A and B are shown apart, each in its own frame.
Chain A
Amino acid sequence: MRGIGVRPHRARRATGDSQTDEPLARDQAVRLVIEVCERAATGDMEARVPVLGGSEQAVRFRSAVNGLLDHVDAFVREAGAASAAAAEGRFHRRFLTQGLAGTFRAAAEQITHSNQVMSRTAAQFAEAARQRQALADDLESAVLTVSEQVATAATEMGRSANGLADFARVAVTDAERGLGTVSSLRSSSDEIRHAVDLINQVAAQTRLLALNATIEAARAGSAGRGFGVVANEVKNLANETSASSEQIMNQVNTVQQSAADAIGVLEAVTNRIREMSGLVEGIALAVDGGRHTDNAGLSQLAEVLRAEVSRFVTTIRES
C-alpha cells in the first residue's frame, strides 16, 4: 500500500514553521496529488488526497481534488448500478441525480430517460406476452371444445350410419324374399295355365263325345230320345267348362302381369336400397376412417387438430 489514500491521517494544523519548509511541502503535496490523480485515471476510485498542509490554499486544493473524485466516483457507481438494475428489470431503481451538476447531471438524466424507455419497452413486451398467453388460452379452450363436439358428433354419426346400413341390409333381404314370393306366384300361375289347358282339352273331347252321342241318339229314334237329352246336357257342361277355363286364363294372365309389375317394383326398390347402402358406407368411412387406408376419420382428425394446437400453444407459452 502506498502512503496515500484511504487510511487515517492525522491532520496537521497550521504552524509557524510552515513558512520555512513551504517549498518542500509544496513539492510533497504536488507529488501526492499526482499519485492520486494517476490512480484515479486508471480507474482506482478508492484513492483520495490526504492532508496536504494547514494553509487555506492547501485545504481548498485537497478539498477540490477530493470533491472532483467524489463526484466522478458517485457518477460511476450510479451509472453501473442503475444500468445493472435496468438490465435486471428493476426499473423502480432510478439514477440519482441529486448531488450531480452540469454534464454529470445531464448524462444522469439521459440514462434515467433511457431506463424509462427500456422500462416502457419491457412493459410492452410483458403486455404482448400476456396477450399472447391469453390468446393461447382462448385458442386452446376453443379447439378443445370444437374437437370434443366433433368427436361426439362423429360418434353419433357413426352410430346412425351403422344403424342405417343394418336397416338397408334387412330391407334388401326383405325385398329379395318378396321377389322370391312373387316369382313363385308366377310359376304357380304357369302351372294353373297348364291345368286349364288340360281341362280345355278334356272339355273339347267331351263336346266331341257329346256330339257323337247326340248323333247316335237321333239314329235310335224315340228309343234314343232320353239318351239324346243326356248327351245335350253333357255338351252344355263341356261348353260351360270351356267358358270357365277362359275366365280362369284371363285371371291367370292378370295375376301374371301383376306379378311381373311387382317384380319390377321390388327390383327397383332393392337397387335403390343398395345405392343407399353405398352412400351410408361412405359416411361411415368419412366418420370412422378407413381401416386399411390412410384416410383418417373425423374423430381422428379432431384429435390430430387438438394435439397440433396443444403443441402450438405450448410453444407459444414457452416462448
Chain B
Amino acid sequence: MKNTRVRPTGRERTFSEDELIVTKTDPRGSITYANDVFLRMSALHEEDALGQPHNLIRHPDMPRAVFKLLWDTLKDRREMFAYVVNLAADGAHYWVFAHVTPSYDDTGRVVGYHSNRRVPSRSAVTAADDLYRVLRAAESRHDRPQDAVAAGHAALQQILAERNRTYDELVWDLSAGGAR
C-alpha cells in the first residue's frame, strides 16, 4: 500500500466505447497484468501497478459492501458485475461497468481473477452514484470496518427487497436502461 493517499480532484476521465480496461490478479488480488487502457485511465506506470493490490485504485466513494459482495461472489466461483468508480493516481476518477470472473487452470483450480471494464451509460452511472450514496451513508455510521460492511450490506439487501430484485437483476436493469 502506498502511504500517501491520493486526494480526489473531482475531475472525471472517460474512455471510448471500443476500449476494454483489462486487469488480471493472482488469487489474493494482487495485479499481475494491466493493459494499456488501464494504465492510461489510472495514470499509472506499469511498474507502479504490477504486484500491487487491486484496491490501489479504490475511490473513497465506493461502498465497502460492494467489494465484500464482489469477493463473496468470486469465492463462490461466480461472475460478478458492478458499476465501479475508480480513483486514478493523479486524483481523477473514472466510472466503469466491471465484469469480474475467476480464471481456472486445466484442473479447474482458480489461478486468479480477470476483470474486463466497459464504458457505462450515463444513466447507469447516475443511478449507481445514488445507490452508493445511500450505502455509504449507512456505512459511515460505523467506525469498525466489519460493522460498516454489515451496515452497507443490510442497506443493499433492503433496497433489493423493496424492489423485489436480486443484485444481478438490479445491475442489469441499470445496464438495460442505458443501452436503449
Binding site for B on A (CB under 8 A): 6-11, 45-46, 48, 51, 63, 66-67, 70-71, 73-74, 77-78, 81, 90, 92-94, 96, 98-99, 101
Contact = CB atoms under 8 A, between A and B. Distances in A.
Given A11-B47, A66-B35, A101-B18, A77 B116 contact: yes
Given A74-B20, A81-B101, A94-B172, A8 B32 contact: yes
B118 A98 contact: yes
Nearest to A85: B79
B18 A73 contact: no
Given A9-B50, A46-B103, A92 B169 contact: yes
Given A11-B45, A70-B35, A81-B101, A92 B168 contact: yes
A83 to B, nearest CB: 12
Nearest to A49: B33
Secondary structure type dominating chain A contacts = loop
B130 interface: no
Interface string B158-180: 00000000001100110110000
Given A63-B36, A66-B35, A99 B118 contact: yes
Contacts of A6: 24, 26, 32-33, 112
A96 B173 CA distance: 14
A11 B35 CA distance: 13
A11 B33 CA distance: 13
The 3 closest A-B pairs by CB, nearest first: A8-B50, A99-B20, A6-B32
Secondary structure type dominating chain B contacts = mixed
A99 B15 CA distance: 10
A77 B111 CA distance: 15
Nearest to B120: A98
B20 A90 contact: no
Contacts of B60: none
B168 A93 contact: yes
B46 interface: yes
Contacts of B20: 70-71, 74, 99
